[in-house]
Amino acid sequence: MNRFYVMLGTLAVAFCGLLIYLLKTNPAAPRAATEAPVAVLDDGFRGDTLGSNAAPVEIAEYSDFECPYCANFATIQMPTIKDQLIATGKVRWRYRDFPLPGHKYSRYAAHAAQCAGEQGKFWEMHDQLFYHHSWAQTGRNPTSMFRDFARAAGLDLARYDACMESGRFASRIEVSRREGEQRLVDGTPTFFVNGVKFTGPRPTSDAFKAIVDSLTARRK
């Protein structure tokens, strides 16, 4: 009988140790960074951009880091767009957050990207989140994976951790979402070319090149 209780106690200790280990290696996602804020303050930020401010065409993208279609666009179409339109000075690209309500960790991922942006690494984190999109398919808390992404993106992890814990960009993300709502964004990704909503059949690099070439030709 005593041996049974000793064994039971040993198992309980082992279980507690495993639980503590799991919590340390993958802590709970802070609510401040995962939920919409009660009070929303507009800090005037209007998205992270790529390309020249003098570009004749601006494309604004409303996106959700947990969205598989957004990941597909970022990994398949965006590299060509960068080469053909952004690097050539034709387009300035503006990224706006539009976290969908059905995606549990979309705000959290957006916050991770904004915390990276605080260190000048938004686009590096953007690529980490989209190019390693398996985190979005599991439904599991991605805290540890996001921290690994932050490390790979070259962030100061102490600053990143403090930023994520504070949830300091939750309002910024909500302002962006509300802006998209006002512009009748109803899914992700949604694009606006010089303020006009893209309504083509598929948002491909070829489709955007055709639009940009047409707009550029009109200016000549």
- Asked if the structure places residue 21 within a domain, the reply is no
- Asked if the structure places residue 150 within a domain, the reply is yes
- Asked if the structure places residue 96 within a domain, the reply is yes
Indicate if the pLDDT at residue 9 is higher than 90: no
For 107, the domain range is 33-219
In the beta sheet, which residues pair with residue 48? 95
- Asked if the structure places residue 214 within a domain, the reply is yes
- Please write the tens of the pLDDT for every residue from 65-91: 999 999 999 999 999 999 999 999 999
- Please write the tens of the pLDDT for every residue from 166-195: 999 999 999 999 999 999 999 999 999 999
- Asked if the structure places residue 87 within a domain, the reply is yes
When the pLDDT of each residue in the chain is averaged and rounded to a whole number, the result is 89
Q: How many residues does the chain have?
A: 220
Indicate if the pLDDT at residue 136 is higher than 50: yes
Indicate if the pLDDT at residue 15 is higher than 80: no
Q: What is the pLDDT of residue 20?
A: 35
Higher pLDDT, residue 142 or 219: 142
In the beta sheet, which residues pair with residue 178? none
Indicate if the pLDDT at residue 43 is higher than 70: yes
Confidence of residue 150 (pLDDT cuts 50, 70, 90): very high
Sequence-distant (6+) residues with CB within 8 A of 195 are 58
Indicate if the pLDDT at residue 197 is higher than 50: yes
- Asked if the structure places residue 26 within a domain, the reply is no
- Asked if the structure places residue 62 within a domain, the reply is yes
- Residue 181 token pair: 């709502």
- Mean pLDDT across the stretch 32-59? 93
Q: What is the pLDDT of residue 31?
A: 84
Q: What is the pLDDT of residue 92?
A: 98
Q: Give me the number of domains the chain comprises.
A: 1
How much is the pTM?
A: 0.86
Report long-range pairs for 17-20 (Cβ below 8 Å, ≥24 apart).
none
Q: What is the pLDDT of residue 12?
A: 41
* Cα separation, 163 vs 115, whole angstroms: 6
Percent of the chain beyond pLDDT 90? Answer: 79
Is residue 30 classed exposed, middle or buried when 0-12, 13-18 and 19+ CB atoms within 10 A define those classes?
middle
> 3-state secondary structure string, the chain?
CHHHHHHHHHHHHHHHHHHHHHHHHCCCCCHHHHCCCCCCCCCCCCCEEECCCCCCEEEEEEECCCCHHHHHHHHHHHHHHHHHHHCCCCEEEEEEECCCCCCCCHHHHHHHHHHHHHCCCHHHHHHHHHHCCCHHHHCCCCHHHHHHHHHHCCCCHHHHHHHHHHCCCHHHHHHHHHHHHHCCCCCCCEEEECCEECCCCCCCHHHHHHHHHHHHHHHC
Q: What is the pLDDT of residue 121?
A: 98
Indicate if the pLDDT at residue 145 is higher than 70: yes
Q: What is the pLDDT of residue 139?
A: 85
Strand 48-50 and strand 57-63: the pairing is: unpaired
- Asked if the structure places residue 112 within a domain, the reply is yes
CATH code: domain of residue 75: 3.40.30.10
* Cα separation, 109 vs 198, whole angstroms: 25
